[in-house]
Structure 1
Amino acid sequence: MSGLDNLSEYKIMWLLVFFDLPTDTKKDKKAYADFRKVLIKDGFTMYQFSIYVRHCASKDNAEVHIQRVKNNLPRYGKVGILCITDKQFANIQFFNGAKPATATVPYQQLELF
């Protein structure tokens, strides 16, 4: 098995974390900011407001990061986690208003195997 077999677009994963957190009180705002900081510290990049993405080398690696997100869930609000393959991520269509837009793919973290 060559090293390139591990780089299959069906084995490489993308994690998307969607969240809608309350920001009514000072305590809520702090919880929101703390959650964002945890995501950024774990290698997530802002994709859109309240949507963060992370590149993972494999499903096993993605599970590690999913567990980290779960361990740091805020007390209130809604959080969703979606794990998709690199092939599925490449099929996302972008629009700016009614016009198609070019995708700005977040940087890919260098991973040594």
Structure 2
Amino acid sequence: MIPDRQTWISGYRALWMMVSFDLPVGEKSERKAATDFRNYLLDEGFRMAQYSIYYRLLDGKDAAAAMESRIQKRLPQNGSVHVLTITDKQYESIRVFEGRRAGNPEKPGQLVLF
């Protein structure tokens, strides 16, 4: 059964999944495992918010459970991975602040040759 359009696009049905991780990168094999995990998330349709925080919109709890199961199968041997799932309605209250420059940027001074 296909849900009606109103249910399909409900802010309570659509879910955002955020994956954050802290993986060791001291050894070459650890760096490869961390890179492979990041690339796996990108291949699964996640977008990078920060270097170790990725997010993706999913269609409902079943899709989120399936994605979580696939992520669990691809976990690196060491490190910590956190998965957070929230509704689109909850996500709409997110606020993003980017750095700002104080005052006007300085212009370079006149070049002086001796």
- Give TM class, smaller chain: 0.7 to 0.9
Please report how far the alpha carbon of residue 37 of structure 1 lies from its aligned counterpart in structure 2 after TM superposition. Answer: 1.2
Please report how far the alpha carbon of residue 45 of structure 1 lies from its aligned counterpart in structure 2 after TM superposition. Answer: 0.8
Q: Tell me which of 43, 46, 54 is aligned to 1:44.
A: 46
Q: Secondary structure at the match of 2:78?
A: coil
Q: Distance in 2 between matches of 1:98 and 1:84?
A: 29
The residue type paired with residue 46 of structure 1 is M
Q: Tell me which of 48, 56, 59 is aligned to 1:57.
A: 59
TM-score normalised to the size of structure 1?
A: 0.82
- List per-residue Cα deviations over 1:33-55 (Å, max 9, x = no partner): 11011111111110112000011
Does 2:89 align with 1:87? yes
Question: What is the RMSD computed on CA atoms of the aligned residues?
Answer: 1.6
TM-score normalised to the size of structure 2?
A: 0.81
Any gaps of 5 or more consecutive residues in structure 2?
102-114
The residue type paired with residue 7 of structure 2 is D
Q: Tell me which of 28, 31, 34 is aligned to 2:33.
A: 31
Q: Give the 4+ runs in structure 1 shifted more than 4 A.
A: none
| 8 Å contact kept, 2:13–2:60 | yes
Q: Secondary structure at the match of 1:96?
A: coil
Q: Distance in 2 between matches of 1:63 and 1:57?
A: 11
Q: Tell me which of 20, 30, 42 is aligned to 1:18.
A: 20
Larger Cα-atom Rg = 2
Any gaps of 5 or more consecutive residues in structure 1?
100-113
Q: Distance in 2 between matches of 1:98 and 1:66?
A: 36
| 8 Å contact kept, 2:7–2:13 | no
